[in-house]
Chains A and B, each alone.
Chain A
Amino acid sequence: MRISKYILGAVTAASFAGGAYAQTEIQWWHAMGGANGERVDRIAADFNASQSEYVVVPSYKGNYTETMTAAVAAFRAGEQPDIVQVFEVGTATMMAAEGAVYPVSDLMNDTNTAFDQSVYLPAVVSYYQTSEGELLSMPFNSSTPVLWYNQDAFDAAGVESVPSTWDEVNAAAQKLLDSGMTCGYSFGWQSWVMIENYGAWHNLPMGTQENGFAGIDTEFTFNNDAVVNRLQSIADSQESGIFKYGGRRGDSLSLFTSGECGMWMNSSAYYGSVKSQSEFNFGQTMLPLDTDVADAPQNSIIGGATLWVLRGKPEANYPGVAAFMNFLSTPEVQAWWHQETGYVPITTAASDLSREQGFYDENPGTDTAIRELSLNAPTPNSRGLRFGNFVQIRDVINEEMEALWAGDKTAREAMDEAVARGNALLAKFARANR
């Protein structure tokens, strides 16, 4: 009698276990913390509610670097997720891993999911396409740097028009200092804003081989006179307080939102943070033009991250992944995500929807990012970057720039050293991936 009770109990328990396999789970690893993390969870919840076959499970893995590192380590252990959010500097590494990555175009073809690449904004999509136009990863949160400014501080200092060139930025900063502020402007993500985007905005290449799109054996060229002169002039202006360095990534946000610095150059995606943390009227405008270098701006390049699909998961997951990708690209989801976060809407339909909803009228300046990206058709210098080991190279550039701000090196020395160290890392990447 006792034995049969145990058998009955075991059978009942086993039958409960079967119920867990009804829905296919799709693991999504991302790097969106804080408020953006809650928005990610909401997107996944909306998708899960809209159908009953698949469940998308988002997991926050840390910042972009940590998420990418976790995904690589997980892949080596056979524990990789279906979707991972990788930032743009990891593109070359992901692309080189042909056995690990499942290009989005192929995914859509293989699962017979309808997919029209033309609905995506060219400036956003071109970064992640092969030379044959095949889309490798799905754009999700793309941004571009803008010039944030403190409108109240401008009014108090008598700055009448919003600066559009570097000379005007310096003049406005001087007026801010004269009116009693201790800092004119700062910036963050300095490699992205001051070297990568500076090059694209002024149609200067950052490296050979079309910034890496045309081949893996590239070398850096960003130690050109334009960049060196501009950086040297910024470093010299630290003395009077016109420029103040505040950190490599978004650390200098508090310098702007606290009202210490009147202007700030960083990602358009700080919109949510700037809005909630600052107690003054603020605005955003396009990056300043360096009139010594070019007559008109070219276009800016995107930052942020895309969603890469990884191979090695059960076949049954991939139709769900494809359906989720399409869900992410619907105008409603993209328009909501763009308006809440300041990331760029990735489809023309989403930006049209935002316009129809009156979002840009009610919030002037929020279309700056889209305008910068689509200002002109991208040239080989302004399409984007594809350099290997770029995560470490960004750190190298950060270190050399920090040495410049600290006064330990001139801009010429810092940039030459950054190029030399960067080329060594590029050579290592080419060697490991040949």
Chain B
Amino acid sequence: MLKRVHFGPSLLPFLLVAPQIAVTLVFFMWPAGQALYQSFLIEDAFGFSSEFVWFENFAYLFNDKYYLASFYRTAIFSLSVAGMAMGIALVMAAMVDRIAKGVMAYQTLLIWPYAVAPVVAGALWVFMFDPTLGIFAYALNTVGYDWNHKLNGDEAMLLVVLAATWKQIAYNFLFFVAAIQSIPKSLIEAAAIDGAGPMRRFWTIIFPLITPTTFFLLVVNIVYAFFDTFGIIHAITQGGPAKATEILVYKVYNDGFIGLDLGGSAAQSVILMGIVIVITVIQFRFIERKVEY
């Protein structure tokens, strides 16, 4: 028998990969292509007439001050959510690492929120903070603060950031715990013997060694904040009050499905896709250099 180092040509790999490729083509490539095509049209809601207008939809968007304000709002929102979610999860993962007894209990309770669907999470938070009925609103009232996120835009933004972060902390926590546990204990013990305190050990040993995970989570969190938070915003504020929480992805929904302006909505969708591609490319080109594998 000859020992072969490389494999002969075979159909099996292609067959095994084919279903995934089919799913990607049908559910990602085709809708993306459709959106790209529709962004060049102005058509009526029912699809009876359509007019090919080149880049007019895009020009209209960049002249619309409400669209530009939405960019700014989305940036604030996603940086807050990603930053808070990762920061809090890292702190909790570092602390859980130092616990001797009952580690499983802490981990289970901290991971549970991840299992909650975004809309359900939104419904929970909006109920707790409802100005008339909510328990946290009541607590704030007793210390003299009149909470009303239906009128105050900053409070509405705070509420959706809280709800979105709460959900994502669990996901980040899971990854950070695994990453911290994968660091060889001998390194930390050696540092402790040399006299480094917990904070010093964290910043000089643990944090640099989990940078691959941190980088991965950064990409995932930014994409989450851009897209997956739609359910939370729809459940809590529907983009209000007065557009205070209307981030780019919500505006796509609002203009497309409520306003039935399919061309404009498709153009926004294309721009949003472009933004996320650019951000991901930037992250891979520049930040990955700092990751130590």
Q: How far is the CA of A296 from the CA of B141 in the complex (A)?
A: 44
Q: Which of B40-48, B117-125, B198-206 lies on the face that meets chain A? A: B40-48
Q: Is A389 an interface residue (CB 8 A)?
A: yes
Question: Do B48 and A99 touch across chains, with their CB atoms under 8 A apart?
Answer: yes
Interface: B116 (CB within 8 A): no
State whether B44 touches A96 (Cβ < 8 A): yes
Among B150, B152, B254, point to the contact of A247 (Cβ < 8 A). B150
Quick one: given A245-B151, A402-B151, A406-B151, are A97 and B44 in contact (CB under 8 Å)? yes
Chain A's closest residue to B261 (CB) is: A428
A113 at the interface (CB under 8 A from B): no
B263 partner residues in chain A, CB cutoff 8 A: 432
Closest residue of A by beta carbon distance from B47: A76
User: A-facing mask of B224-266, CB < 8 A → 1, else 0?
Assistant: 0000000000000000111100000000001101111101100
- Interface range on chain B: under 10, 10 to 19, 20 to 34, or 35 or more? 20 to 34
**A237-255: which have CB < 8 Å to B?**
245, 247, 251, 254-255
Provide the bound-state CA to CA distance between A402 and B243, in Å. 10
Range, interface on chain A: 20 to 34
A226 contacts the other chain (CB 8 A): no
Query: Among A69, A93, A406, which residue has its beta carbon within 8 angstroms of that of B241?
Result: A406
B46 in contact with A97 (CB, 8 Å): yes
Is the CB–CB distance between A395 and B258 below 8 Å? yes
Cα–Cα distance between A398 and B257 once the two chains are bound (Å): 18
Interface presence of B132 (CB below 8 A):
yes
A75 within 8 A of B: yes
Q: How far is the CA of A403 from the CA of B153 in the complex (A)?
A: 10
Complex alpha-carbon distance, A69 and B132, angstroms: 31
A72 contacts B241, C-beta separation under 8 Å: no
Q: Check if A179 is an interface residue, CB within 8 A of chain B.
A: no
CB of B258 within 8 A of CB of A405, answer no
Residues of A within 8 A of B240 (CB): 398-399, 402
Evaluate whether A72 and B260 lie within 8 angstroms (CB atoms) in the complex, with A247-B150, A254-B132 already known: yes
Interface string of B132-156 (1 = CB under 8 A from A): 1000000000000000001111000
> By CB atoms of chain A within 10 A, which of B51, B132, B242 has the most?
B242
* CA–CA, A76 and B34, complex, Å: 14
What 1/0 flags go to A52-88 for Cβ under 8 Å of B? 0000000000000100010011011000000000000
Across the interface, do B241 and A402 meet the contact criterion of CB distance under 8 Å? yes
Residues B45 and A72 in contact, CB atoms below 8 Å apart: yes
Nearest CB in chain A to that of B42: its residue = A432
A154 to chain B minimum Cβ distance, whole angstroms, is 23
Contact at B43–A432, with CB atoms within 8 Å? Answer: yes
Q: Smallest CB-CB separation from A77: which chain B residue?
A: B47
Assembled-state Cα–Cα distance A69/B258 (Å): 7
Chain A residues near B48: list those with CB within 8 A.
Answer: 97-100
Q: Which residues of B contact A75 (CB under 8 A)?
A: 46-47
Residues from chain B with Cβ under 8 Å of A109 in the complex:
none
Q: Which of A389, A399, A402, A432 has the most CB of B within 10 A?
A: A432
- The reply to whether A403 and B46 contact each other, CB–CB distance below 8 Å, is no
Q: Is the CB of B42 within 8 A of A431?
A: yes
Question: What A residues does B259 contact at CB under 8 A?
Answer: 389, 391-392, 425
A389-B260 contact, Cβ under 8 Å, with A100-B48, A247-B150, A254-B132: yes
Q: How far is the CA of A398 from the CA of B47 in the complex (A)?
A: 28
> For the complex, is A433 an interface residue (Cβ under 8 Å from B)?
yes
A-contact bits for B254-283, CB 8 A (1 contact / 0 none): 110111110110000000000000000000
Chain B contacts of A402 at CB under 8 A?
151, 240-242
**Which A residues touch B150, using CB under 8 A?**
247, 251
> Given the complex, which residues of B lie within 8 Å of A408, measured CB to CB?
242
By the criterion CB–CB under 8 Å, are A65 and B241 in contact?
no
Residue of B nearest to A409 (CB): B242
Bound CA span A251–B132, Å: 11
- A389–B262 Cα distance when bound, in Å, is 12
With a cutoff of 8 Å between Cβ atoms, the chain B residues found around residue A98 in the complex are 48
On chain A, the residues within 8 Å of B260 by CB distance are 69, 72, 93, 389, 391
Could you tell me the distance between the alpha carbons of A398 and B255 in the complex, rounded to whole angstroms? Answer: 16
List, in ascending order, chain A residues with CB within 8 A of B258's CB: 65, 69, 391-392, 395
A contact residues vs B (CB 8 Å cutoff): 65, 69, 72-73, 75-76, 93, 96-100, 245, 247, 251, 254-255, 389, 391-392, 395, 398-400, 402-403, 405-406, 408, 425, 428, 431-433
> Which are the 3 A-B pairs with shortest beta-carbon distances?
A392-B259, A97-B46, A399-B242
5 contacts between A and B (CB under 8 A): A99-B48, A391-B259, A399-B241, A408-B242, A432-B43
* Extra A-B contacts (11), CB below 8 Å, given A395-B258, A403-B242, A406-B152: A72-B45, A72-B260, A251-B150, A391-B258, A391-B260, A392-B259, A402-B151, A406-B242, A428-B264, A431-B42, A432-B261
